[in-house]
Amino acid sequence: METDVVVVLCTAPPGDAERIADLVIGKRQAACVNIMGVGSVYRWEGKIQREREELMIIKTDREHLDALMETIAGAHPYEVPEILALPVAAGNPDYLAWVKESVQGHPSP
């Protein structure tokens, strides 16, 4: 049974993740953002890169997903930011309800 809640994963340079988190929470586009340090290895412009980044685990709902992704892309310093949306198959019903309630209201553009 899939829910209406979505988890969005996004990496950013250290320091930028907190700024982006404040922005999406302030706009009521996300209920919660967890931030943790990670090491990333990837290929960019033909070269293997290794970076220290911060991973944001963002909880929102389908209704706010497009606006959230647009806000992240507009505020993100990367040319091609990682923004991945994953559906939530199931979860604590009280937590899922809290996510929905937290993004309701009057979101700012």
Tens-place pLDDT, residues 9-47:
999 999 999 999 999 999 999 999 999 999 999 999 999
Task: Give mean pLDDT, residues 62-74.
Answer: 98
106 pLDDT band, cuts 50/70/90, is low
Task: Give mean pLDDT, residues 55-78.
Answer: 98
* The pLDDT value given to residue 58: 99
1 pLDDT band, cuts 50/70/90, is low
Task: Give mean pLDDT, residues 86-101.
Answer: 96
* The pLDDT value given to residue 2: 81
Cβ atoms 24, 71 nearer than 8 A? yes
105 pLDDT band, cuts 50/70/90, is confident
b/e per residue, 31-46, with b = 16+ CB within 10 A? bebeeeeeeeeeeeee
Distance CA 15, CA 53 (A): 9
What is the pTM for the complete model shown?
A: 0.92
Q: Is 5 exposed, middle or buried (0-12, 13-18, 19+ CB in 10 A)?
A: buried
Domain range annotation of the chain: 5-103
CATH topology of domain 5-103: Alpha-Beta Plaits (3.30.70)
